[in-house]
Amino acid sequence: MYSFKNDYSEGSHPRILNALLETNLVQEDGYGEDQFSQKAVELLKERIGRTDVDIHLLSGGTQTNLIAISAFLRPHEAAMAASTGHILGHETGAIEATGHKILSIEAENGKLTPSDIQAVLDGHPDEHMVKPKLVYISNSTEIGTIYSKHELEDLSDFCKKNKLILYMDGARLGSALTSKENDLQLSDLPALVDAFYIGGTKNGALIGEALVICNDSLKEDFRYHLKQKGALLAKGRLLGIQFLELFRDNLFFDLASHANKMAAILSEEISKANFQFLTDSPSNQIFPILPNALITELEKDYSFHIWEKVDAEHSAIRLVTSWVTKEDEVAAFLERLKSGLR
């Protein structure tokens, strides 16, 4: 059975495994003070084009969101997120467990707008309610959509005007930035958001996310938060080595481009078979709407998520391609889908 369930079913790119093996017996300091982590941080700053950001390497996306959001907020402050946001539906109440409420917003295409946020601010006027403070967005979103530069600029301007923290979940940032519809650069982000992270786990790394803190007011004592919440790894070198390998050339973006290419092939051919999609996704997640009977047939040979019931006879499924999805497996899936129509 071949999996289109997620983009972390496989291990890691062979270059990363080789780099880990080649450095295996080198003695290093711990807790991110090793030469590999330090070099990775400097390399990422170079790629981002800013030396005034703080960068911390963490093991996973939920851990990164949990620590960053809880560190950035005061006890009475809340986060705002689209109803499809990862922190709302897929992190087991991690943010709420730190004492911070998440205010859910029904957002078109999974993307927040200034008017969406203004409505929340208007509904929380005084100290008898939590204070909306942090705007959580994902790029790409949980439903595969991406933010344009203009959309992010509007959001950024609004947040600055209203003294809100704009935080971007970048678990699939590679896919977003290499999408054919994207007009954002990695170097644009520090001027537009207060913090974001670069996801490695879903783009060729074994584990690892690089949190980039751009706003000076959010930087102080962040390593204390990492240590207190179990994220300051004794063998932090494992994260540094991976990000060094991903960013020493164009590997990070090449892997994301491959995932997008495989998703585009799936999307194009499924469209040709006259199926509709739940969302217009230009990234490595697509959501075709298929007859339930066909879904049952496909499940015999493929794994994927049934995302949402559309009507009594149809459901939307989620197909996710990865940095190493094989084109012949994509072709086989499409043939299986088409044969189910005969």
DSSP 197-229: EEE-TTTT-SS-EEEEE--GGGTTTHHHHHHHT
Integer-rounded Cα Rg, in Å, for the chain is 20
The long-range contacts involving 89-98, CB below 8 angstroms and separated by at least 24 positions, are 89/142, 90/62, 90/142, 91/62, 91/65, 91/66, 92/62, 94/62, 94/65, 94/66, 95/65, 95/66, 95/69, 95/70, 98/66, 98/69, 98/70
Report cis status (omega within 30 of 0) of the bond before 140. Answer: yes
Number of Cβ within 10 Å of residue 311's Cβ equals: 8
Return mean pLDDT, the chain: 97
Locate all alpha helices (DSSP H) within 201-326, ordered by sequence: 222-228, 237-247, 251-272, 292-298
Kindly give, in sequence order, each residue whose CB lies less than 8 Å from that of residue 151, ignoring residues fewer than 6 positions away: 111, 113
pLDDT at 15: 98
pLDDT at 152: 98
**Bridge partner list, 199:** 209
What does the pLDDT look like over 20-70, one tens digit per residue? 999 999 999 999 999 999 999 999 999 999 999 999 999 999 999 999 999
Secondary structure of residue 6 in the 3-state scheme:
coil
342: confidence class by pLDDT, cuts 50, 70, 90: low
Cβ atoms of residues 174 and 253 within 8 Å: yes
The CATH class, in words, for 251-339 is: alpha beta
Q: Is 196 exposed, middle or buried (0-12, 13-18, 19+ CB in 10 A)?
A: buried
Kindly give, in sequence order, each residue whose CB lies less than 8 Å from that of residue 88, ignoring residues fewer than 6 positions away: 81, 82, 102, 104
What does the pLDDT look like over 68-110, one tens digit per residue? 999 999 999 999 999 999 999 899 999 999 999 999 999 999 9
What does the pLDDT look like over 115-171, one tens digit per residue? 999 999 999 999 999 999 999 999 999 999 999 999 999 999 999 999 999 999 999
Secondary structure of residue 2 in the 3-state scheme:
strand
pLDDT at 103: 98
Cβ atoms of residues 284 and 321 within 8 Å: yes
pLDDT at 339: 86
Please determine, for residue 322, whether its predicted confidence score (pLDDT) is greater than 90. Answer: yes
Kindly give, in sequence order, each residue whose CB lies less than 8 Å from that of residue 154, ignoring residues fewer than 6 positions away: 113, 114
Same fold, 14-247 and 251-339: no
Q: Where are the domains of the chain?
A: 14-247, 251-339
Percent pLDDT > 90 in the chain is: 98
- Select the CATH number that applies to the domain covering 14-247 from these four: 3.50.50.60, 3.30.1360.20, 3.40.640.10, 3.90.580.10: 3.40.640.10
Cβ atoms of residues 26 and 229 within 8 Å: no
State the pairing for strand pair 102-105/77-82: parallel
Nearest-angstrom CA–CA distance, 8 and 207: 9
What does the pLDDT look like over 270-283, one tens digit per residue? 999 999 999 999 99
